[in-house]
Amino acid sequence: MTKFKIGLLVMAGLVVAAGTGGVVGAGAAIALIKTSYNGPVNADPRSELAVHSDVLGESVQLGIRLPIEYASDPDRRFPVLWVLDASHGDMVYRATQTLAQAGIGEPSIVVELPRTSAGRTEDFTPPQPIMHWTGGQGDRFLRFLETEAIPAVEGAFRTDSVRILVGHSLGGLFTLYAFAERPLLFKAHFAFSPSTWVGNQAIVSILQRTLRERDTGETFLYLSLGSDEGNRMLSGFEAVRATLTSDAPPRLRWQMDITAGADHGSNPTLSYPIAVSRYWGH
């Protein structure tokens, strides 16, 4: 067996093993992603798709990263990973390719969502009055996603029915808000280090209302928090866990993990493989 194949098999075992408890140690798995993968990659996989938005009142350049299989298998359709904060796009793209090569997850189209002229805080924060004393324009950004960005991507590329929303920090807060407001828009939601503390943990009551009153379908929700992120982050995280434990309907699959040794910056990279393995059932 080649060194490459051994590396992938070991990585696959580590990813699955790491996701078996409430505290995960994904460091070894992500280290293998960075060092063992030497399979085919596109030299410059990123292109852009311009979307003129009437909702936002501006044009948005979506970053598009196609899997290597897109060109080699012209009849195939692919899941789409919608990544909030374009800076995470390269990590998500490369990790997804590696995990797919290892038989964990599926080759996917990665869409990078840049911040708009309103700014990241406005884009990702839910509106008043549901956020109490604070609030942004998250409802507007969600409407842009649903009515303009998603139709543009699905009209331009060979997509299948699987959409996954990926967010970190305030992007993680928006991911939870999107789930609460449009629970069937995405098949899965990955919220890494979500800023659940914003607005005195207002997102918790929003989630509770959705879980009790709305059809969430057969969706999947994954949350993770680094073990070194502090009590304010942990308090909101555990409040979400309590709500899911008491109110999640049977068809909603969900998983929450504390990532051992991770801080706010490293947690998305370290726990992304766990989210992928959990969603695809490996």
Query: Strand 220-226 relative to strand 253-259: parallel, antiparallel, unpaired?
Result: parallel
> Is 270 within 8 Å of 18 (Cβ atoms)?
no
| pLDDT reading at 28 higher than 50 | no
- The model carries a pTM of 0.87
| pLDDT reading at 42 higher than 50 | yes
Express each pLDDT in 173-183 by its tens digit: 999 999 999 99
| pLDDT reading at 18 higher than 70 | no
Q: What are phi and psi of 269, to 5 degrees?
A: -65, -40
CATH architecture of 3-280: 3-Layer(aba) Sandwich (3.40)
Express each pLDDT in 142-176 by its tens digit: 999 999 999 999 999 999 999 999 999 999 999 99
Sheet holding 220-226, edge to edge: 23-24, 253-259, 220-226, 188-192, 159-168, 78-84, 109-113, 58-65, 46-53
Express each pLDDT in 61-93 by its tens digit: 999 999 999 999 999 999 999 999 988 999 999
| pLDDT reading at 236 higher than 70 | yes
Kindly report which listed range (6-10, 32-36, 108-112) carries the lowest average pLDDT score: 6-10
Higher pLDDT: 29 or 6? It is 29
* Domain extent listing, the chain: 3-280
Distance (Å) of CA 239 to CA 96, 170, 216, 246: 30, 17, 19, 11
| pLDDT reading at 8 higher than 50 | no
pLDDT of residue 131: 74
Higher pLDDT: 122 or 3? It is 122
